[in-house]
Amino acid sequence: MRILLVDDEPALTGPLSRVLTREGYQVDITHDGLEGSQLAQSGGYDVLILDWMLPALSGLELCQQLRAQGDTTPVLFLTAKDTLDDRVEGLDAGADDYLVKPFELRELLARVRALLRRPPTLEPSPTSRLQVDDLVLNLANQVAHRGDRSIDLSEKESQLLAYLMRHANDVLTHEQIQQHLWSADERPSSNALAAQIRLLRRKIEHDGEPQLIHTVYGKGYRLGEMSPG
């Protein structure tokens, strides 16, 4: 399990990193909010531990930035800001937990374990959005925009479009998409995916607009304006 620790107090990060490492976690440390943002966006972390007050970019801004990009990595704020308003502001920014300094190491370790036990969230943050070329999808209200057009989507269409956009320019197989859209208990018909693709194309590809969803025959589908090669 990988943890990113972003705090500008070396007197805290050093001992805390050693404790977390002894518990079996791989820990990366930075004391700067901008570098923390770059590391967090590189992906691969299971938990982010963020101080609130950081150079260049605050932990609050970093958390808001990640949530706006659809990143659902669990975030634990570790901060001296201890008022009720501070806690509310931190949680409203997208944090999953909030621990006030000074703290007991046992409690911090317990909170990290609790965050790691949580199943991955399927709900986007209220401000999260995806964009590929001139197509924008608001994950909160299932509305897409292309140019001046507003496009209302069904829940399944929104899920399909979000999956394609998150993997823009990648070829996604029929099996990959089906596993994402339908649970193991559901039994979609053999042409259910093709029907969903057809409905989605009608909505996001009007006459005169470049094609975005491409069929890769024998494999699956790819979303992106330009065809490879």
Give dist(CA 86, CA 176) in Å, integer: 42
Q: Which pLDDT belongs to residue 124?
A: 44
What is the average pLDDT across 152-178?
Answer: 89
Greater pLDDT, 125 or 113 = 113
pLDDT tens digits along 33-64 = 889 998 888 768 899 999 988 888 898 999 98
Give dist(CA 129, CA 137) in Å, integer: 6
pLDDT tens digits along 211-225 = 999 999 989 999 987
3-state SS of the chain is CEEEEECCCHHHHHHHHHHHHHCCCEEEEECCHHHHHHHHHCCCCCEEEECCCCCCCCHHHHHHHHHHCCCCCCEEEEECCCCHHHHHHHHHCCCCEEEECCCCHHHHHHHHHHHHHCCCCCCCCCCCEEEECCEEEECCCCEEEECCEEEECCHHHHHHHHHHHHCCCCCEEHHHHHHHHCCCCCCCCCCHHHHHHHHHHHHHCCCCCCCCEEEECCCEEEECCCCCC
Name the amino acid, one letter, at 63: C
Of the pLDDT bands very low, low, confident and very high (cuts 50, 70, 90), residue 128 is low
The CATH number of 2-117, from 1.10.150.80, 3.40.50.2300, 3.40.50.850, 3.30.56.10, is: 3.40.50.2300
Strands across the sheet containing 2-6: 26-30, 2-6, 47-50, 75-79, 97-100
- Which of 54-58, 90-94, 120-124 bottoms out in mean pLDDT, i.e. has the lowest? 120-124
What Rg, from alpha-carbon coordinates, does the chain have?
A: 21
Tell me how many degrees the CA angle 189-193-196 measures, rounded to the nearest 5. Answer: 115
Q: Which pLDDT belongs to residue 103?
A: 85
CATH topology of domain 129-223: Arc Repressor Mutant, subunit A (1.10.10)
Segments making up each domain of the chain, as ranges: 2-117, 129-223
